[in-house]
Amino acid sequence: MKWNWQQSDWPRFTYNAELVAPLEADFLRGSGIQIGAFSHLKKEEKAALTVDLISAEALKTSEIEGEILNRNSVQSSILRQFGLKTDGRKIPPAEQGIAEMMVDLYRTFDQPLSHETLFAWHRMLTNGRNDLQDVGCYRKHAEKMQVVSGAIYDPKIHFEAPPFHEMQSQMDAFLDWFNGSISLPALTRCGVAHLYFVCVHPFEDGNGRIGRAVAEKALAQNIGQPSLTALSTQIEKGRKAYYAALEAANKHNQITTWLLYFGGVILEAQKATQTHIQFLIHKAKLFDRLRGHLNLRQEKVIARMFREGPDGFKGGLSSENYVSITQTSTATATRDLRDLIKLGALYKTGKLKSTRYWLNLREK
């Protein structure tokens, strides 16, 4: 079997633009809504949202590759790079590296993509590692670069990348295409960029994470500002579907199916970001409404619930949670929770031991 890069039409990807057009239109509408909503946030809220989303993407793009990082360390590193207050903790190399790459992507989204940028991202990603031969450069080893599963005696090859001696010419062509393709619709350019990059697979390791950063850069350039789209977060939710779609797309260069899949992922990621923005807007309104009406215990619990994000506590807040957070008695927790419902800060579901409390973010 020939892989897509071995075929005579590589890398001239073809697709049905009419089928992708409705997704492109939805993305543009969503971008307008997102930009408008973002403009209503206060300066400190914008900073908090930016740090939260970049942190989440840093964690999830690593998790897709099976690497679980410490959230607090990643977030502390990002805060430090933005010149914001941190807890002063020592940051491990892996967390430091992914944070640096994501912040650099955010700050330099409008600059052309270059070999030097990719090399710098790779050095950041591999910070602290000593198991790689080729760091901050394209792979140079003669061994085949393959994605394989199964037993050693009966392996299944999901993909094989171009050989190392083609890396410079392949990446020259990729960068020429990327920097010259800004006129393409956003989802199309993003989908082609990601697929093209990971099929070349230029680095010894880190191709998936850098490939998703390339996709984010393409989106940001097309809308003219950092996209803050929760792309990796959405991909991680459907990781098996993501890898299956990549595998199906690496066998030919007609990529309509891939673009429809990846465009759908981006739209869901965009919705997730919009939900996060609306959450912050509702949070500000709720705190304004409650100012001066809460005791210290109640303030602590409400703040703790907001830190859980738009989805809140998994399964809702229980009275036991309240007691644990505030170190108060069950009777006091019951009174506090009853008052929070009267104030409209919370609403409850269930009865008796199944009673759960939720932030009331409905408009007043």
Integer Cα distance of 210 and 121 in angstroms: 7
Q: Which of 337, 285, 272, 351 is nearest to 311 (CA)?
A: 272
- Separation between Cα atoms, residue 181 and residue 174, nearest integer Å: 10
* Residue 233 tokens, joined: 């977060």
Of 42-56, 239-253, 326-340, least confident by mean pLDDT is: 42-56
Q: Which pLDDT value is given to residue 280? A: 85
Pick the more confident residue, 126 or 227: 126
Residue 186 has pLDDT above 90, yes or no: yes
Instruction: Check whether 359 has a pLDDT greater than 60.
Output: yes
The pLDDT mean for the chain works out to 94
What does the domain layout of the chain look like in residue ranges? 4-278, 293-359
Full-model pTM: 0.89
Average pLDDT estimate for 96-119: 98
- Band (pLDDT 50/70/90 cuts) for residue 66 is very high
Residue range 211-240, pLDDT digits in tens: 999 999 999 999 999 988 999 999 999 999
What does the pLDDT read at residue 87? Answer: 87
What is the average per-residue pLDDT within 102-112?
A: 97
pLDDT recorded at residue 327: 96
Mean of the pLDDT values across residues 78-85?
94
Q: Which residues of 338-352 are buried (b: 16+ CB within 10 A; e: fewer)?
A: eebeeeebbebeeee
**What CATH architecture does domain 4-278 belong to?**
Orthogonal Bundle (1.10)
pLDDT tier, 244 (very low <50, low <70, confident <90, very high otherwise)? very high
DSSP 106: H
Q: Supply the pLDDT for residue 153.
A: 77
* pLDDT(364) > 70: no
Confidence of residue 363 (pLDDT cuts 50, 70, 90): low
Whether residue 285 is predicted with pLDDT greater than 90 in this model: the reply is: no
User: Which pLDDT score, from 0 to 100, does residue 313 have?
Assistant: 84
pLDDT value for 311: 77
**DSSP 8-state assignment for residue 352:** G
Which positions ≥6 away from 212 have C-beta within 8 Å? 61, 64, 194, 231, 232, 235
Please tell me if the domain spanning 4-278 has the same topology as the one spanning 293-359: no
pLDDT of residue 260: 98
Mean pLDDT of 276-290: 88
**363 or 21: which carries more pLDDT confidence?**
21
158: nearest Cα among 219, 93, 247, 87: 247
Retrieve residue 305's tokens.
Answer: 């619930």
Instruction: Quickly tell me which residue has 């809504």 as its tokens.
Output: 33
The pLDDT value recorded for residue 263 is 98
pLDDT on residue 151: 77
Q: How far apart are CA 321 and CA 333, in angstroms?
A: 9
pLDDT digits (tens, 9 = 90+) for 133-176: 999 999 999 999 998 887 777 888 899 999 999 999 999 999 99
7 pLDDT band, cuts 50/70/90, is very high
Q: Residue 317 carries which DSSP code?
A: B
Q: Can you tell me which residue has the tokens 């993407």?
A: 57
* pLDDT tens digits along 90-99: 999 999 999 9
What class, spelled out in words, does domain 293-359 have in CATH? mainly alpha
pLDDT, tens only, 300-332: 999 999 888 887 888 999 999 999 999 999 999
Residues 125, 101: contact at Cβ < 8 Å?
A: yes
